[in-house]
């Protein structure tokens, strides 16, 4: 079996590392023809801190195809990816195409495969924010609707898909679509890498600046970075919060550019360069709480037993909100400050298992091979 895996953004590198490792484990024990994985890196995240460091740290094989597509508007980026991925598929002739999450790389890979009648497997299927102003929401909906295998991380994701008319596949031996509840590959990744993620010299220097504890924050969603008022409100809120509790903010290139363009300054927030996965989970394991607009970091906060404030009006990970681990604040200054006060008051039961048992990668490969 030849699997063509399309990745392009840093969360996808983490997710793909789990399934690639499961493929390697399967090949070691395979009694039949082994799996050949062909990696395609679209280039959506391309510099060392946003890309190469993930491949090094997580022992991901180098991509056989690196398309180098970045710094484009949404339509141009997706279109260029679609064109070039189609050429790769025609050359490689895979048995299926595997995509992750909800980025432009995800949609381009899925569409290119579907138009060539190549089956698509979507890891992290079924997520819905129900906000179609988000590019990610459009990407995930369209990807789900052209996929043959929908690998869901939560029961909520399964419910979303069944509400849209998909059917749950209860017999893994049948070669029919569609929905499989496998758990979250990000949990697999955290379980595997957390013991390896020891803070390096750079993180040690940062931690020396916050001996009494700190909040960890990330801001990168276009809905926040492209709106000067939203971004200004978020930064102002984190500045106020920093008076009492230091805030460490690894600064996404898009966020840095937007701050510079709009004259938004931060004097008290500890802003650092984008970090590799190991450095991020080193900080995550040591922080008090998380303030983010990232989908992945909301879950990782939960995996490390940290409360989270989500700087958006909605989230795909509704079970975190329903269970009290996550507070939706939006971008209003007072709402963010109120959320910080609220998270200090709550009691948390992190023994709940919301995202499976940590074996999603192996479950995915078992299903694909069995199919």
DSSP for 118-160?
Answer: --EEEETTT---S-TTSHHHHHHHHHHHT-SEEEESSHHHHHH
Angstrom distance (rounded) from CA 147 to CA 244: 48
Q: Which residues make Cβ contacts (< 8 Å) with residue 152, sequence separation at least 6?
A: 124, 125, 126, 158, 161, 179, 180, 181, 182
Report the C-alpha gap between 363 and 369 in whole angstroms: 10
Q: CA nearest 294: which of 324, 340, 326? A: 326
Q: Give the H or E element holding residue 272.
A: strand 270-272
DSSP code at position 200: -
What are the residues facing 121 on neighbouring strands? 98, 149
DSSP one-letter string for 349-370: -TT---S-SS-HHHHHHHHHHH
Please tell me what DSSP assigns to residue 212. Answer: T
Q: What is the C-alpha to C-alpha distance for residues 78 and 76, in angstroms, rounded to an integer? A: 6
* CA dist., res. 318 & res. 50, Å (int): 27
Q: Do residues 82 and 143 touch, judged by C-beta distance below 8 A?
A: no
Longest dimension (CA), the chain: 61
Give the catalytic positions in this structure.
220
C-beta of residue 150 within 8 angstroms of C-beta of residue 178: yes
């Amino acid at each position: 079996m030849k699997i063509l895996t399309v990745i392009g953004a840093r969360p996808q590198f983490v997710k793909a590392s789990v399934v690639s490792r499961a493929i390697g484990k399967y090949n070691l024990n395979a009694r039949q023809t082994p799996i050949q994985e062909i990696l395609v890196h679209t280039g959506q995240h391309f510099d060392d801190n946003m890309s190469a460091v993930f491949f090094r740290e997580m022992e991901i094989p180098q991509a056989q195809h690196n398309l180098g597509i970045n710094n484009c508007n949404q339509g141009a980026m997706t279109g260029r990816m679609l064109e070039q991925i189609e050429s790769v598929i025609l050359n490689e002739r895979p048995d299926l195409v595997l995509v992750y999450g909800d980025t432009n790389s995800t949609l381009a890979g899925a569409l290119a495969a579907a138009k060539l009648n190549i089956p698509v497997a979507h890891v992290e299927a079924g997520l819905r924010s129900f906000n179609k102003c988000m590019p990610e929401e459009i990407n995930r909906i369209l990807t789900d609707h052209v996929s043959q295998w929908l690998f869901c991380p939560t029961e909520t994701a399964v419910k979303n898909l069944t509400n849209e008319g998909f059917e749950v596949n209860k017999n893994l031996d049948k070669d029919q679509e569609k929905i499989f509840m496998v758990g979250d590959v990000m949990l697999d990744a955290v379980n595997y890498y957390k013991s390896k993620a020891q803070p390096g010299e750079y993180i040690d220097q940062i931690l020396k600046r916050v001996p009494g504890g700190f909040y960890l924050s990330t801001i990168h969603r276009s809905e926040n970075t492209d709106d000067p008022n939203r971004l200004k409100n978020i930064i102002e809120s984190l500045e106020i919060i920093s008076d009492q509790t230091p805030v460490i903010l690894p600064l996404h290139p898009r966020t840095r550019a937007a701050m510079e363009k709009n004259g938004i300054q931060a004097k008290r927030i500890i802003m650092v360069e984008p970090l590799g996965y190991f450095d991020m989970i080193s900080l995550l394991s040591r922080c008090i709480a998380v303030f983010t607009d990232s989908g992945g970091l909301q879950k990782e906060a939960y995996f490390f037993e940290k409360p989270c404030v989500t700087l958006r009006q909605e989230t795909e990970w509704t079970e975190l909100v329903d269970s009290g681990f996550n507070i939706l604040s939006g971008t209003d200054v007072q709402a963010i400050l109120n959320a910080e006060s609220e998270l200090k008051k709550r009691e948390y039961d992190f023994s709940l298992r919301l995202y499976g048992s940590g074996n999603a990668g192996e479950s995915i490969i078992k299903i694909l091979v069995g199919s």
